[in-house]
Amino acid sequence: GAGVSQSPSNKVTEKGKDVELRCDPISGHTALYWYRQSLGQGLEFLIYFQGNSAPDKSGLPSDRFSAERTGGSVSTLTIQRTQQEDSAVYLCASSSGLDPDTQYFGPGTRLTVL
């Protein structure tokens, strides 16, 4: 079966522009996560969706960041008025939501803000 897919794989944008990053989770997975990974750094948790529950947005670094998950499947991470410090790889993961849980990661979107 298909794994987690993300698009685009690379995105170059100018400072101040808005960007949308897409994640297609594994079919049937109820949980979806977004992480950010700066060059040479570990993963930084951003947001978590579980089924139809309200998302846990506590990891979002500023109000310029938002995420949606439509129909319990595809998710979009939006960054408004991008800044150079937003440059990073944005990783999406999904899981079955069962206890214990294992996350399956996508290949990531590399965002470069000029």
Q: Which residues bind other proteins (CB under 8 A)?
A: 4, 31, 33, 35, 42-43, 45, 48, 50, 56, 58-59, 91, 93, 97, 99-108
β-bridge partners, 110: 10, 89
19 vs 89, beta carbon nearer other proteins? 89
What's the min distance (Å) between Cβ of 22 and other proteins? Answer: 15
Compute the distance between CA of residue 24 and CA of residue 17 in angstroms, rounded to an integer: 23
Contacts of 110 by beta carbon, 8 Å cutoff, 6+ apart: 9, 10, 11, 88, 89
Compute the distance between CA of residue 32 and CA of residue 23 in angstroms, rounded to an integer: 9
82 vs 90, beta carbon nearer other proteins? 90
16 vs 51, beta carbon nearer other proteins? 51
